[in-house]
Amino acid sequence: LPGSRRTEVGRLGPRFDEALIRLRDRVPEIRVVVPTVRGVSTLVRDMARRWPTAPVVVESPEERRAAFAAADLALAASGTVSLDLAANGVPMVIGYDVAPLSRLVIGMLLKTDTVTLVNLVSETRAVPEYLGRNCQPGPMSQALFRLVEDGDDRAEQLAAMALTMERLGRGGEAPGLRAARSVMAAISSAPRSR
């Protein structure tokens, strides 16, 4: 999942492919599926044709949902896709990088040690992140391998994902109903004007 914008795909795609090549060297039976979106699908398909991992690229919403449901592991760009993966119980490694100047500005402004939504919502650091200069194939491949090999890392991530989904409302009232109840509670507790 190298991103949904052309710059993300261009910057992350080759690094992700190299990380997956390294993982495949250790786990030869892996099959790579790359869910993408319309705006970058042509770019992703063109890049994927050159990747030694020979990924299957899927674009339609149905194919993306099926890919998430079937996945055992993911390497993804930072963003809301981490919640889609969490909702499907797919352990993940997150990678992201921006231009050097943007890196500098973000570094000065960032007030947290994590940017992954699962980590933020669950208040854990279960999902490994490789950001900026650290977004390199070797470390990302190692983290993916640990999720294949290490039941404890995988279990910790699955627990964080379950907590995230619980906190976001899975298994409870529908989000629209929760929102409506919140509005009604606020209205009923507000002082009445005469």
Count of other CB atoms within 10 angstroms of residue 82: 27
Q: Where are the domains of the chain?
A: 6-189
Predicted confidence pLDDT, tens digits, the chain (194 residues): 566 776 777 778 889 889 988 999 999 988 888 888 888 888 888 887 877 777 888 888 899 899 999 999 999 988 888 999 999 999 999 998 866 676 666 666 667 778 889 999 999 999 999 988 899 999 999 999 999 987 899 999 999 999 999 998 876 665 445 545 655 665 676 566 55
Cα of 153 vs its chain's centroid, Å: 16
Count of other CB atoms within 10 angstroms of residue 132: 16
Contact 115, 78 (CB under 8 A): yes
Pick the CATH number of 6-189 from 3.30.420.340, 3.10.20.30, 3.40.50.2000, 3.30.930.10: 3.40.50.2000
Contact 160, 122 (CB under 8 A): yes
